Structure 1
Amino acid sequence: MEILVALAKLSPVALLAGLMVGGYDALIAAPIATVYAAIIAVFFAKKKINDIMDACIKNAREMQIAFFILMAAYAMAEAFMSTGVGASIINLSLNIGLTARTVAVVGVGVTSILSIATGTSWGTFAACAPIFLWLNHIVGGNMYLTLAAIAGGACFGDNIGLISDTTIVSSGIQRVEVVKRIRHQGFWSASVLILAVTSFYIAGVVMDLPTTIGNAAEAIDQIPEAAWKALAEERPSAEALLNQVKNGVPYYMVIPLILVLISAFRGMTTLLCLFIGILSAYVLGSIAGTVESLQSFLDLVTTGFADAGSWVIVMMMWVAAFGGIMKIMDAFRPISILVVKISRNVRQLMFYNGVLSILGNAGLADEMAQIVTIGPIIKELVEKNVVGKPEHIETLRLRNATFSDALGVFGSQLIPWHVYIGFYLGIANAVYPLHVFNAMDLIRFNFMAFIAVGSILILTLTGLDRLIPRFGLPSEPDVRLRQAHEEIEVEDGIEAEA
């Protein structure tokens, strides 16, 4: 009977996963799963309706700051795409001169920086695929190498960008500050980028690619009309950015991104960093002529707020409610027991959290679904099974958030049936109709994804993460697995040592 009850308590996760795999939007799947979880809580966990409602509201309340961050992030993304910040980044990078041997190298670099600035991997890929695929065509590069480079680079900022929805949501679920998360993984992410850039360059040399220099404006001119129409339907903002790249914007429009990055690494709060980016984009855009008026800029900000509120914030509220119900049912206890049973120490437990994240991503075929489904599970595994001082527990939470995001975004690049792959292939085939790309074309040379996924799991398991500044996990005796007889003490969302 206990087994049946345990399975019943876990069944809301299966329902949520099934709905997501079945193609339902998270905004539909999450409310359905939440209502179902409430029914299970009443009949199998013997919880009262009032207690269930309180759990939902309490869990959602704890994510309020994430909602404000998301609204500001979406507003800054709109501002950066429209005022010329994104275009200035691309033009600065392309001015170094591209050859068949370096087009993939520059592609991964440009998309990595642009995705940090815009917070969107899909938008970055949509904006850069037409440029780099046609540049690659002009200079005679390897189209599979270039495609994989811009796909992997586009994911980079989605994993570490201040305004990325996956960064914000994964951090919110683990209850850690976005800026602290970025500082925790910053040196690791930079190492992944350097290794990826090096790998793409070596691949170009090994393939003996030519060294003819290409031109971005010429590449944009060669984009067929049908490709422009497809791009306008899929990503209108990417179409506008391409026109800015072609027509040119002042190079000083890159300053807003620099200010945001400096603010973040100086330890300023996430909201302050975002507002610095928005304000500087307005001031410099007004000087450059890319901002027509204050009202037009405020319309951009309003659009960002509306886009955040129309989907991701509402989805997060339902996911928070879902997590609250699962928590009061102690639904994840069977998984917790299994992981603890096979874990000999905290480091192994954290490794299995990473494994759960990548397996969840493969099963759900959607990085956001993985974050909101598996995220609460690995969060509770730490809360219920690890004893340590608050600062050490926080480091484990930071790694959990990094797992959810990195293994969601980068992991998507290694899963042929993933929604990311589907979107990228749709864009690539639309803007470069000379070739029909398939999933393995994206995966085979995606050095960024292979390095990111492999390194974070290996470093966590072996303890070599201690060699990377700020990325090392605490180990025994600073943290240890909880003994069966010990009680759980949680204060303000951070577990204290008993």
Structure 2
Amino acid sequence: MDNKSNKVKANGKALIPFLTFIVIYLGSGIILQSKGVEMAFYQFPAPVAVFCGVIVAFIMFKGTINEKFMRFIHGCGNEDIIIMCVIYLLAGAFAGVSKAMGGVDSTVNLGLTFIPAQYIAAGLFVISAFISIATGTSCGALAAVAPIAVGLATKAGLNLPLTMAAVVGGAMFGDNLSVISDTTIAATRTQGCEMRDKFKLNLFIALPPAIIAIILLIIFGHPTNVPQMQVYDYNIIKVLPYLFVLTLSIAGLNVFAVLTGGIFVSGIIGLLYGQLTPLSFAQHTFSGFTSMTDIFLVSMITGGLAHMVTQEGGLQYILDRIQKMIKGKKSAEAGIATLVALTDAAIANNTVSIIINGPIAKEISEEYKVDPRRSASLLDIFACIMQGIIPYGAQMLMVGSFTKGAVSPIQVIPLLWYQQLLIVSAIVSMYIPFADNIIRKHPWNWEKGKAI
């Protein structure tokens, strides 16, 4: 499907393997949820669900078993898929080593020490945002900040649902922007653009909603009992690896070099302060690798399945249907946003939603000349928006877990001001391109496939 002459004939039946994956993943979640299983939508392993789709593809599609296997392997070994998977491993190792040497605890405590007590709700948004940007995971930020937030809310007389909404909003803000987030990695690799460019474009769209949300939290999140300021135990040196990775990534240094450097900076700090030994440094690095096994396998297997489905005309079928509704560049952007949001609503996994829709978004971008940096930003934004507001998503389920059932997702969702404002900002940016300064300065060269 590289050009019009090689266009594959549309075939809706070729989508059945993908639908099998979604039905198994979604269906198992619904069934387990009805039985009261905790984190129901995350119990059936996503890689196994994808592999079920691969089996269906092998049964359905034409050709010998060897031909189908080679098509599958070709998709798994796609350059962008392999790069994506390697970055996942390095991002996991950096997060694991940095946490082991005390970086997360120091960052949280640093924020709690210097944020005035009367601004606790807004401060929790900022802290969880930074943790999420630094570690590349909203769930990790929630795990670090939410238990502290529950205690502070109780002590200060804060509205607990509003407090948890602040933590979730900050975590999703950081996850959306982080240069080492699996969503950013997936979005930029599938669209063929640089992480720093997507970060800059995203920042224009996400920062205004974040600022407004912080102001609203200051106004409506004022505590009834202002707790006495405390000095928490922190070490500014242990925050430096996060700043190192963030700064060099935005500066445009190769992401492999940045993350590898970040791993060693965190490791050296851990060795100097006694939190790590050479052996535990190696062990935490490996644990970081293995923590990304699920998304590594999902990406690789989905890459193989996507290639098989594309060769059979499944992708072309979707594109033909979408193109009947798309009238131009703006509606093309709206189509990309809608597709990834609906997929995330179905499977409750923003990274997998981006991986599934990445090839479709790429084809739409090429057809309607949507800048790849723009399509990558839209994929990440709308996947994160949906992931952060669905009641059966990991983020909302963690809220119930940390509050021991005292707060339900239904109480928190109306107070997710950041996500609500981000929807408005992202839609407005499609029709009033206030966020496209980076695109205007460095327009996309469609012949060479990169920014000028």
Q: Structures share a fold, TM > 0.5?
A: yes
How far apart in 2 are the matches of 1:307 and 1:90?
22
66, 76, 96: which one aligns with 1:60 = 76
How far apart in 2 are the matches of 1:165 and 1:331?
26
TM-score (norm 1): 0.78
Residue 102 of structure 1: SS of its match in structure 2? helix
Residue 405 of structure 1 aligns with which residue?
Answer: 380
Q: How many residues align?
A: 425
How far apart in 2 are the matches of 1:150 and 1:472?
34
Amino acid at match of 1:446: L
Asked if the contact 1:250–1:288 (Cα under 8 Å) also holds between the matched residues in 2, the reply is no
Residue 275 of structure 2: SS of its match in structure 1? coil
Q: Deviations over 1:93-113 (max 9, x none)?
A: 1112543x4111000000000
TM-score (norm 2): 0.85
How far is the alpha carbon of 1:368 from its aligned partner?
A: 3.2
Residue 9 of structure 1: SS of its match in structure 2? helix
Residue 438 of structure 1 aligns with which residue?
Answer: 408
Amino acid at match of 1:269: N
Q: Deviations over 1:219-252 (max 9, x none)?
A: xxxxxxxxxxxxxxxxxxxxxxxxxxx6x23222
Asked if the contact 2:328–2:368 (Cα under 8 Å) also holds between the matched residues in 1, the reply is no
Amino acid at match of 2:261: I
How far apart in 2 are the matches of 1:58 and 1:466?
40
> For structure 2, which runs of at least 5 residues remain unmatched after alignment?
1-9, 29-43
256, 260, 282: which one aligns with 1:298 = 282
How far apart in 2 are the matches of 1:265 and 1:97?
26
How far is the alpha carbon of 1:442 from its aligned partner?
A: 2.0
Matched, 1:7 2:24: no
Identity of aligned residues (%): 23
359, 363, 368: which one aligns with 1:386 = 368
Matched, 1:93 2:111: yes
Residue 396 of structure 2 aligns with which residue?
Answer: 421
Matched, 1:114 2:114: no
Q: Deviations over 1:405-456 (max 9, x none)?
A: 2222222222223343223322332xxxxx6211122211111211223321
Residue 465 of structure 1 aligns with which residue?
Answer: 433
How far apart in 2 are the matches of 1:154 and 1:249?
21
How far is the alpha carbon of 1:296 from its aligned partner?
A: 1.6
Distance 1:254 1:425, change over 3 A: same
Residue 227 of structure 2 aligns with which residue?
Answer: 213
Distance 1:338 1:315, change over 3 A: closer
Asked if the contact 2:166–2:217 (Cα under 8 Å) also holds between the matched residues in 1, the reply is yes
Distance 1:181 1:60, change over 3 A: farther
Asked if the contact 1:17–1:369 (Cα under 8 Å) also holds between the matched residues in 2, the reply is no
How far is the alpha carbon of 1:474 from its aligned partner?
A: 10
How far is the alpha carbon of 1:211 from its aligned partner?
A: 6.1
> For structure 1, which runs of at least 5 residues remain unmatched after alignment?
218-245, 388-392, 430-434, 480-489
How far is the alpha carbon of 1:197 from its aligned partner?
A: 1.5
How far apart in 1 are the matches of 2:333 and 2:254?
27
Aligned counterparts, 1:324-403, within 5 A: 324-383=307-366, 385-386=367-368, 396-403=371-378
Asked if the contact 1:73–1:163 (Cα under 8 Å) also holds between the matched residues in 2, the reply is yes
How far apart in 1 are the matches of 2:298 and 2:115?
44
Asked if the contact 2:14–2:309 (Cα under 8 Å) also holds between the matched residues in 1, the reply is yes
Matched, 1:18 2:23: yes
How far apart in 1 are the matches of 2:75 and 2:228?
53
Q: Aligned-pair RMSD on alpha carbons?
A: 2.8
